Amino acid sequence: MTELTVRRDVPAPRPRVDLSTRLAGRTFPNPVFTASGCAAAGQELDQFFDITELGGVVTKSIMLAPRSGRATPRMAETPSGMLNSIGLQGPGIDAFLDKDLAWLADRGARAVVSIAGGSVEDYTQLAQRLRGAPGLAMLEVNISCPNVEDRGQVFACDPRAASEVVSAVRKTMTPDIPVFAKLSPDVTDITAIARACVDAGADGLSVINTLLGMAIDTDTMRPVLAGVTGGLSGPAIRPVAVRCVWQVHQALPDVPILGMGGIRTGRDALEFVLAGASAVSVGTTVFGDPMAPVRVLAELAQALADRGFERFSDAVGLAHRPPEAALPEGPDPVGDPA
Ligand SMILES: Cc1cc2nc3c(=O)[nH]c(=O)nc-3n(C[C@H](O)[C@H](O)[C@H](O)COP(=O)(O)O)c2cc1C
């Protein structure tokens, strides 16, 4: 672990808004989570703020075996975003259970464990290993991985493959643990994949993973990333992410969504909530501002209070009301002084 200046800031008191949120039968104290791959398993962030303040900590996708990830360079800055081709670097499920998940459980954090594999069997084995694991609050199935049994076709881009993975994981994991499938925006119709995942047993959907992108260095006249392509994240993708959350919520209004993509402020988070997200993940922003998740939480609470909301849940999907519909008692769309 790198040396960090310990700065356990006390978050500002939050206004009196009931921030609790229900995700597939499980209640979380608030709707702000980390994003997979952007906060490891929470240890580093916990040096900046108390990670139990967050709704949940989403861990870096874990695979069965340890992996060293892709060759460097594997990060590139882009306008309002970044490209990464880290690959799924990680210690493998055994070390993850012994060290990372054990630490999160000990710490009292709500751990959302992200799993990734190259075959349905990989995902099934990961779910088996995680059954009954202390500290596990939810499972996020990262299906943006190449299927080794289908010429490297990404699971998340094929409704049948996505559904096979989700069905296997749902059957293997105990019913008390919500299983969320994480969708890729790199598809023509995200609602078709969303529906396939839900029909296969997903209790909720994480929307969205990174967009496939690339950058070319005009001096070397070669791709910037050693892996050539990478995942685009950060504010640049926010409108795409909000559109995906909107479409998925419209198609499947009863399915909880963990929304993400370029969230930097509480107002950004509110945009996702109004589009239909019952919780949000804060990802890339954390690299420049490790306090971002708790700051976003405080700002979101303030933004809700400014608009007259007493409960976070009343704001979920509110942008879908018809233009002529009156707002429910309380919320005031012009009440935000910021
Ligand atoms: C460096 C990096 C690593 C990531 N690793 C993972 C991962 O292991 N699993 C996963 O499902 N998503 C991963 N993501 C995607 C994020 O969880 C998130 O879906 C995406 O970056 C959009 O959110 P953001 O713009 O707030 O970062 C990663 C993103 C970044 C930037």
CATH of residue 212: 3.20.20.70
Alpha-helix residue ranges (DSSP H) falling in 210-320: 238-251, 266-275, 285-288, 292-306
Helices (H) and strands (E) in the chain, counts: 9, 18
CB 32, CB 282: distance < 8 Å: yes
- Say which residue the tokens 């804060």 belong to: 282
Q: What are the phi and psi torsion angles at 287 (to 5°)?
A: -65, -35
Instruction: Give the pLDDT of the chain (338 residues) as one tens digit per residue.
Output: 444 445 555 555 567 899 999 999 999 999 999 999 999 999 999 999 999 999 999 999 999 999 988 889 999 999 999 999 988 889 999 999 999 999 999 999 999 999 999 999 999 999 999 999 999 999 999 999 988 888 889 999 999 999 999 999 999 999 999 999 999 999 999 999 999 999 999 999 999 999 999 999 999 999 999 999 999 999 999 999 999 999 999 999 999 999 999 999 999 999 999 999 999 999 999 999 999 999 999 999 999 999 999 999 999 999 999 988 877 666 666 554 44
pLDDT at 304: 97
Task: List Cβ neighbours of 81 (8 Å cut-off, separation of 6 or more).
Answer: 232, 233, 234, 235, 236, 237, 262, 284
Gap between the Cα atoms of 32 and 58, Å rounded: 10
Of 72, 73, 81, 130, give the one whose Cα is nearest residue 104.
130
Distance (angstroms) between ligand 1 centre and the Cα of 142 equals: 10
Considering only CA atoms, which residue is closest to atom 21 of ligand 1? 233
pLDDT at 11: 59
Residue 174 domain-assigned (yes or no): yes
pLDDT at 338: 44
Distance (angstroms) between ligand 1 centre and the Cα of 276 equals: 20
Structural domain count of the chain: 1
Residue 15 domain-assigned (yes or no): no
Burial of 129 (0-12, 13-18, 19+ CB in 10 A): middle
Q: Coil, strand or helix: which one is 83? A: strand
The catalytic residues are 145
Ligand 1 pocket mutation pick from 210, 284, 285 by most atoms within 8 angstroms of CB: 210
Residue 1 domain-assigned (yes or no): no
Provide the domain limits for residue 308: 21-320
Mutual angle of helices 120-130 and 159-172, in 10-degree steps? 20
pLDDT at 4: 45
pLDDT at 292: 98
The tally of CA atoms less than 13 A away on the side-chain side of residue 230 is 28
Give the residues surrounding ligand 1 with Cβ less than 6 Å away: 35-38, 60-61, 84, 86, 88, 114, 142, 182, 209-210, 231, 233-234, 237, 260-263, 282-284
Ligand 1 atom at minimum distance from 262 CA? 25
Amino acid at residue number 319:
A
Burial of 54 (0-12, 13-18, 19+ CB in 10 A): buried
Residue 263 domain-assigned (yes or no): yes
- Rounded to 5°, angle at Cα 244 from 88 and 75: 30
Ligand 1 atom at minimum distance from 263 CA? 26
Residue 293 domain-assigned (yes or no): yes
pTM here is 0.94
Gap between the Cα atoms of 336 and 338, Å rounded: 6
Ligand 1 pocket mutation pick from 70, 82, 126, 209 by most atoms within 8 angstroms of CB: 209
Distance (angstroms) between ligand 1 centre and the Cα of 217 equals: 23
**Ordered DSSP codes for 121-134:** HHHHHHHHHHTT-T
Residue 9 domain-assigned (yes or no): no
Distance (angstroms) between ligand 1 centre and the Cα of 323 equals: 34
Classify the C-alpha dihedral 24-26-31-35 as positive or negative.
negative
Residue 234 domain-assigned (yes or no): yes
Ligand 1 pocket mutation pick from 36, 61, 287 by most atoms within 8 angstroms of CB: 36
**Ordered DSSP codes for 34-47:** E-TTSSTTSTTGGG
Ligand 1 atom at minimum distance from 140 CA? 11
Considering only CA atoms, which residue is closest to atom 7 of ligand 1? 37
Considering only CA atoms, which residue is closest to atom 2 of ligand 1? 37
Distance (angstroms) between ligand 1 centre and the Cα of 283 equals: 6
Gap between the Cα atoms of 53 and 296, Å rounded: 12
Considering only CA atoms, which residue is closest to atom 31 of ligand 1? 284
Residue 8 domain-assigned (yes or no): no
Say which DSSP state 314 is in: G
Distance (angstroms) between ligand 1 centre and the Cα of 335 equals: 33
Of 158, 235, 212, give the one whose Cα is nearest residue 190.
158
Task: List Cβ neighbours of 28 (8 Å cut-off, separation of 6 or more).
Answer: 20, 21, 22, 55, 56, 110, 137, 279
Residue 311, Cβ neighbours under 10 Å: how many?
Answer: 14
Gap between the Cα atoms of 333 and 207, Å rounded: 25
